[in-house]
């Protein structure tokens, strides 16, 4: 098998380190692996069938009591920072870091978990792009600072208490990742 983009091999290795928590996560991880192995350009935002890879980040503050969320301009929901893979991104981790900086201004991040979560979700049609799927690989970082500003795809950026994420209009995939984060602190 010839992989179309040299980043595919690294993404497959990274994905192999992910331990799914349940059957749904296993299905998502398998779908991402299949995308990497069977589509011509899985990193391209122009690949709509079946979709393309994205990278995102759950960022906690230094006390690890709050998570950084953005109010997404197009989706109108509170989500973790993240988005499309750019040609200059060395890998999924670099893409996640770049997205955090672009959307929130945070540049110094300490990696805590790679990957924390995976998710496949439908993106509605918007400005000429058809509805399509995002195959999202999600990382966990700790911020070294707390000052954030919304930019790029974010209308707002703010720190939200881990226990309050369910009260602000996030989707189930965000809630699932936050439950994982809270579980990590309980185990430590």
In Å, how far are 40, 52, 147, 160 from 85, measured between CA atoms? Answer: 15, 9, 25, 26
Global pTM exceeds 0.75? yes
Q: Name the phi and psi angles at 74, rounded to 5.
A: -90, -35
Angle made by CA atoms 84, 119, 160, in degrees to the nearest 5: 80
Hey, which bits of the chain come out as E strands?
51-60, 66-72, 78-79, 82-84, 109-123, 132-143, 154-161
Give me the pLDDT at residue 185, please: 77
Whether 64 has a pLDDT exceeding 60, the answer reads yes
pLDDT digits (tens, 9 = 90+) for 108-125: 999 997 799 999 999 889
Instruction: Provide mean pLDDT across the span 162-181.
Output: 91
Mean pLDDT of the chain: 90
From CA 89, how far away is CA 84, in angstroms rounded? 10
pLDDT digits (tens, 9 = 90+) for 92-101: 999 999 999 9
Q: Name the phi and psi angles at 12, rounded to 5.
A: -65, -40
Whether 82 has a pLDDT exceeding 90, the answer reads yes
Unique residue bearing structure tokens 């980043």: 7
Domains of the chain in sequence order: 7-187 (3.90.79.10)
Whether 3 has a pLDDT exceeding 60, the answer reads no
Banded model confidence at residue 72, pLDDT cuts 50, 70, 90: confident
Whether 36 has a pLDDT exceeding 60, the answer reads yes
């Amino acid at each position: 098998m010839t992989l179309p983009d040299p980043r595919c091999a690294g993404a497959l290795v990274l994905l192999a380190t992910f331990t799914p928590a349940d059957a749904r996560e296993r299905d998502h991880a398998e779908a991402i692996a299949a995308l990497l192995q069977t589509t011509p350009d899985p990193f391209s935002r122009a690949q709509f069938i079946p979709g393309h890879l994205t990278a995102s980040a759950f960022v906690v503050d230094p006390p690890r009591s709050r998570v950084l969320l953005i109010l997404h301009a197009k989706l109108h929901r509170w989500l973790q920072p993240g988005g499309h893979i750019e040609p200059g991104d060395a890998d999924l981790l670099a893409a996640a870091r770049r997205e955090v900086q672009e959307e929130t201004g945070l540049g110094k991040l300490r990696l805590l978990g790679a990957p924390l979560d995976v998710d496949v979700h439908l993106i509605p049609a918007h400005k000429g792009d058809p509805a399509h799927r995002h195959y999202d690989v999600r990382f966990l970082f700790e911020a070294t600072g707390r000052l954030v500003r919304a930019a790029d795809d974010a209308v707002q950026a703010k720190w939200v208490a881990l226990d309050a994420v369910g009260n602000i209009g996030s989707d189930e995939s965000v809630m699932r990742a936050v439950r994982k984060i809270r579980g990590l602190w309980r185990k430590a």
